[in-house]
């Protein structure tokens, strides 16, 4: 029987680790133009008093990428 009261270990983000690093705009400018969209943290935007657009979730139907066109079998021989 499972012990549901035990604390799960080894999951989630460890304390102190972070996904973000600091980089200067000048450095970024070398790689991206002024009109490029770059992903930033929503929390950071809120701290900067910028409006955050609500996230709209959209699920794209997985399109069947398998090529169903039947392949013709043929062989070319140079005589």
Burial of residue 76 (CB within 10 Å: 0-12, 13-18, 19+) is exposed
Give me the phi and psi of 5, to 5 degrees please: -85, -15
Nearer to other proteins, 19 or 69 (CB): 69
Nearer to other proteins, 27 or 73 (CB): 73
CB of 52 to other proteins, least distance (A): 49
Nearer to other proteins, 38 or 79 (CB): 79
Task: Point out which residues bind other proteins (CB under 8 A).
Answer: 69-79
CB of 79 to other proteins, least distance (A): 4
The answer to whether 52 and 42 have CB atoms below 8 angstroms apart is yes
């Amino acid at each position: 029987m499972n012990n549901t009261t035990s604390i799960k270990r080894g999951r989630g983000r460890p304390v102190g680790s972070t996904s973000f690093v600091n980089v200067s705009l000048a450095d970024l400018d070398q790689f991206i133009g002024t009109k490029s969209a770059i992903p930033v943290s929503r929390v950071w935007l809120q701290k900067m008093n910028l409006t955050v657009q609500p996230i709209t979730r959209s699920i794209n139907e997985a399109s069947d990428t398998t090529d169903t066109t039947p392949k013709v079998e043929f062989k070319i021989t140079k005589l």
